[in-house]
Every structure is written in C-alpha cells, then in structure tokens.
Structure 1
Amino acid sequence: MTLGVALDASSAVNQVDASVELARQAAAAGLTSAWFGQTFGADSPQLAALVGREIPALHVGTSAVPVFGRHPLTVSGQAQTAQAATHGRYHLGLALGTKLLTEGGFGLPFERPVARLREFLTALRQLTETGSADFRGQLLTAATPIPARVPGAEKPVPLLVAAMGPQALRASGELADGILPYLAGPRALEEHIVPAVTAAAESAGRPAPRVVALVHGVVTDDVDAVRERASERLAFYEQIPSYARVIELSGGRRASDVAVIGDEKKVADEVRRYRDAGATEVVFAGTDLSGEADRLRTWDLLGSLA
C-alpha cells in the first residue's frame, strides 16, 4: 500500500452498499487502499471484508478498533475472517480508545490502557499467526481449548496501532507491525513519532515498522471555508490529551491546523513532506469536506501520485 483513503458512508441509506461504491471509485482513481473507522455503528472489520471482497484491486483496513470492550479471541476471529474474504489484503488497526468513550459507552474504567494494549497485542499475535493461544496476563486471558484458526487466513494479519504517545509507541514498536498516527503532522512524525517507534522495533529485533499516516485533507479552491468546516468537524479531538499533544508537536493550535487543504500543488507537496518525515503510507480522511467534485478531484490527485 502507498496512498489510500478513509471511507465514511455512515450517512448513506445503506452504509455497506455506499461503501462498496465509494471503494470502487477509489480503485478507479488509482488509489491502493481503503480504510474504515470503528464507531458504535458499523463493524469495521466486517465492512472491510465486504468491500475488499467486492473490490479486489484494494487493500482494506480498520483504523482502528479500541482494545477496551473487545477480547483478542473475538477480534482475531473477525480479522482472520476478513483476511480470508480478501485473500490476504486485510490490515487490522487497534487503538487504546479514550476515557470519554470507554467509560461513557461501555461503562468500563479506562485504566492502564498501555498495559492492556501490550497484553492484547501479545495474545492477538499468537492467535492470528498460529490459530491458538495460551496467554494469561494481569488484565486478560486468551486460551484456545478448541482451534481458533480460520481456513483461508493463512497469511498473518498485519497488526497496526493508532499510537502517538511515548508508551504506546514503545509497545507498538515491540509488539506490532506498525502504527496509524492521526492528526500528526510531518514535524511530529519526524521529530517524535517515527524515531520512537523505530527505536523500539530495533531494540526488540523486529523489522522496521510501517508508519501509516492518516491525514485529514482535501483538494479545493475554497480553502478558508473548507478549513472552517474542518475546524468544526475535528474539534472533538482537541479535548483528547493524546491528540492535543500531537497537534502541538506538529506546530498547530487547533486540529484543523494540521489538515492538508489547498490546490493540487499544495496537497502533493504535503504528501511528499509526510513521506520525507518517515511515513511509509499516507491515507487521506475528510475528503468529503467540500462536496463531491472536490472529493473526486482529491482522489484523482492521490491516484496520480500513487
């Protein structure tokens, strides 16, 4: 995967049908991957599996499934099923989640998130690579008295983490295949995120990690109006400490300050900045900020760069 898009059809009459159609358009534009966020609505691994099976030209991924409120056995079954459905083109993203959604939605205490992430990754890797596990940690247990292998999912599912803080980056470098930073500009990537996750992977004897940068942006001529809409849409993230920190490390004050908004040259230059900062893949979200014409214009540019 090189350049992709995050697809959100949650306002459509039928989200699955609309997602397939959007993915078809993305593939036609020359993009190489489609990613699906996880909310309290559609199940993103299922959505990725359905879309990936319909559109063989695309890799598909989730960005990302929180580890609170889930169990490695369940997530492994979802991920392996998606991997079998797409014949090896599925990529699983995990996230620590937030205190607001974990406690407000699941009624679970948001405690020791990095320790939970470590245990979750350890058990999940056993399951996705071997179809079995015998993990007994402080926070969770994952054992397989019966096999947990999904036939057709022989290729191990890549495990990525939406990590940006020092502890999460260390855990991801040691235990995952890469990271999915969001709202992290080139400065934060180059000076803080990429060095930390790379050093952790090296110390653990693991290969260089993938850095899949999720970028909020769109090609448009109406820059001021679109940035204002981005400010409204992204304001939620400013109240979450991990995002507020990475926005500041990127040189921004508001989340919209790190959004990539402008004409083709501006956006293409920013994509190159992300790659120069260490991103191995770039995925654009928010391409629907200014309507259908600008979305297609954005996808055409990204497809040409891919």
Structure 2
Amino acid sequence: MRIGLTGFGTSVEQVVRQAERAEADGFAALWYPSAVLGDPLVAMALAGRATSSIELGTAVLPSYTCHPVLQAGRATGTAAAIGGRRFTLGIGPSHRPVIQDRYGMSFATPGRHTEEYIGVLAPLLRGEAVSFDGQEYRVRAQPPALPEGGPVPLLLAALGPRLLRVAGQRTAGTILWMGTATAIEKHVAPRIREAAAAAGRAQPRIVAGLPVAVHDDVAEARAEAASVYSVYGTLPNYQRILAHGGVAGPGDAVLVGDEAAVEAGIRALFEAGATDVWAAPFPVGDDRSASRKRTRALLTGLAAG
C-alpha cells in the first residue's frame, strides 16, 4: 500500500528531519500544504536532497496566485534540486474566501480558470512549447529545462465533475481531501478513469487524503475532528464531496477508532479506487502523545507492510 503523510514543519530543519524519518519508516510520500513555511518548495528541495526515495508532493499550491509559466519554472527547479522523479506538483484553484475575500482577486470562473491553467501548465511540465489563446490566459512560452528524470508529474485537486474530467484528460490524476471511500467509488474514480481512457491516457492516480486518529473513543475522536476541521464543512466544494461520500460533515469523514477500525478504513479507500492514501494524523484525548504514537505505529506498520 502506498501510504503518505502530511508534510509539516515550522523550520527548514524540522521539514528535513520529518522527511528523513518518514523515508526510514517506509512511507511512500509526504504531501505539503501551501502554507508550510509560507511556501514549501525551498524546504521540500532541501528535504529531497536529504532523502533518496520518498516522493515529495504539494497538496496543493493555489493556481490563482501564480502564473502557470512561473509555476512550471518553480516546479521544474524544485524537481531538479531533488533529483529524479520524486517531486510531484499538486495544484488547485483554492476557494472563494481565500482568493476573492482575502486576496481581492476574482473567483467568478474557477472551473474555466483551472481548465485553462492546466492547458498552459501541463505541456510546459512535459517540456513542450505553449501557444494558448483562452478567455483567462493568452500565453506564448517556451518550456523550462526539464529536470533529470523527465517531466514533472502533475496532479489536480478535483472534487467536481468538470475538474475530474480535466484531471483525467490532462494530468497524472487527482489529489483529494475529505473524499471518503464511498465518494471515491461512486463519484471520483468512475469520472476520472472515463476521462483518462477517452483521452488515451494511463490509469490516473487517485490520492485520497483524510485525517486519521487511532483512539478507542470514536465519539470523542469525531467530535475533535468536527472542531479541528470545521472549515471544510463550510466550503461548497467540500460540502459536495462530503455529500457524495454520504456523510454530513468532516467529523463523519475522518478515519477513527482502534487499530483494526482505522486499518479497515484505509484498506476501504484502496478498494474503492484510491492508488495512494495521504494520512493526516491528528491527536485526540487527554493523552495526546499516546494518541499520536498509536496512530503513527499503525501507519508505519501499514506503510512498511
């Protein structure tokens, strides 16, 4: 099973140490939110130079705040620093409260924006020149130099039908957050696979990201998750993917329970069509250290098994 963790760190040194430990423990990947150290790419490059096999990916960098030509250069530069095909670029449009309310940019057409963004970015990451005329972007650009190992893999954060189609047609797959096994089986996998097949592309990756906690009191764990991850229940895209998963909110989507229950939940994600699981451990209860240790021990065993 390909199991990864959330990449984190409040210093470059901590990011590097986490990567070294995750690789030693057998984890397949680390997935870094855009907020890590303000921008995770420099720290990821350094972590990549301190490791040899673990995949390092972004989950995800927002598209609106970085022109696709610049994004391609940043991605190929990071991949070159790491070496080989171990860097994966995950991007997504983010959400109206971030892009429009915080940054003051229009979020009127996120679907069209993202589709055109991928139309520019994907060929550049393959080393192809771009001549693109759309409503959002008009671009003439030569590709950046590809790193050793070839093109940079691209994943799209896709929760709805349009972006799942784009992900299947034009990228290596999708990276999800808050998508349950039911949502993957009934909504995500059929759409992205159909789009990839129609485009003559290989079977797409489906990276399933969910919070995880090994804790015997399931009600307590779900209540903690409902509080910690409450924002995802307020954003329309996440509301829809939660509904596809048959759950009312983030507290119901998370993988919690004893070791057997959490392992069963992880295996269910793979059975539903996930190619990778991105586990985001969160602590629960009065003894949060013990909760962390139990969760880490289970995930390490599954990653190494």
| Residue 139 in structure 1 maps to residue 136 in structure 2 | yes
Structure 1 residue 24: deviation in Å? 2.2
Output the CA distance in 2 between the equivalents of 1:191 and 1:76. 33
Output the CA distance in 1 between the equivalents of 2:24 and 2:297. 9
User: How is 1:251-262 mapped onto 2 (pairs within 5 angstroms)?
Assistant: 251-262=246-257
CA contact (8 A) 2:132 2:139 kept: yes
Output the CA distance in 1 between the equivalents of 2:27 and 2:33. 18
Task: Name the residue aligned to 1:300.
Answer: 297
Q: Deviations over 1:224-247 (max 9, x none)?
A: 333222111111011111101111
Q: Give the match's secondary structure for 1:27.
A: helix
1:83 to 58, 76, 79: 79
Output the CA distance in 2 between the equivalents of 1:42 and 1:119. 26
Task: Name the residue aligned to 1:216.
Answer: 211
Q: Deviations over 1:170-212 (max 9, x none)?
A: 1111111100111011111101111011111111111111000
| Residue 5 in structure 1 maps to residue 5 in structure 2 | yes
User: How is 1:162-177 mapped onto 2 (pairs within 5 angstroms)?
Assistant: 162-177=157-172
| Residue 96 in structure 1 maps to residue 93 in structure 2 | yes
1:269 to 260, 264, 274: 264
Q: Deviations over 1:236-286 (max 9, x none)?
A: 011111101111221211211010012211111111100010000001013
Task: Name the residue aligned to 1:30.
Answer: 26
Output the CA distance in 1 between the equivalents of 2:284 and 2:15. 17
Q: Deviations over 1:36-85 (max 9, x none)?
A: 01138521333322222222231100001121121111111111012112
For residue 181 of structure 1, what is the amino acid of its counterpart? L
Structure 1 residue 165: deviation in Å? 0.6
Q: Deviations over 1:90-109 (max 9, x none)?
A: 01101121011001222111
Q: Give the match's secondary structure for 1:38.
A: coil
Specify whether residues 259 and 21 from structure 1 end up closer, same or farther in structure 2 by C-alpha distance, changes over 3 A only.
same
Q: Point out the more displaced range, 282-291 or 187-196.
A: 282-291
Structure 1 residue 223: deviation in Å? 3.6
For residue 6 of structure 2, what is the amino acid of its counterpart? A
Root mean square deviation, CA, Å: 1.9
Output the CA distance in 1 between the equivalents of 2:246 and 2:126. 40
Task: Name the residue aligned to 1:49.
Answer: 45
Task: Name the residue aligned to 2:150.
Answer: 155
Output the CA distance in 1 between the equivalents of 2:163 and 2:29. 25
Q: Give the match's secondary structure for 1:179.
A: strand
Q: Which runs of 5+ in 1 are unaligned?
A: none
CA contact (8 A) 1:46 1:78 kept: no
Structure 1 residue 131: deviation in Å? 5.7
Specify whether residues 21 and 41 from structure 1 end up closer, same or farther in structure 2 by C-alpha distance, changes over 3 A only.
closer
Q: Between Structure 1 and Structure 2, how many residues are aligned?
A: 300
Q: Which runs of 5+ in 2 are unaligned?
A: none
- Compute the TM-score of the two structures, normalised by the length of structure 1: 0.91
For residue 105 of structure 2, what is the amino acid of its counterpart? L
Structure 1 residue 7: deviation in Å? 2.1
For residue 172 of structure 2, what is the amino acid of its counterpart? D
| Residue 72 in structure 1 maps to residue 68 in structure 2 | yes
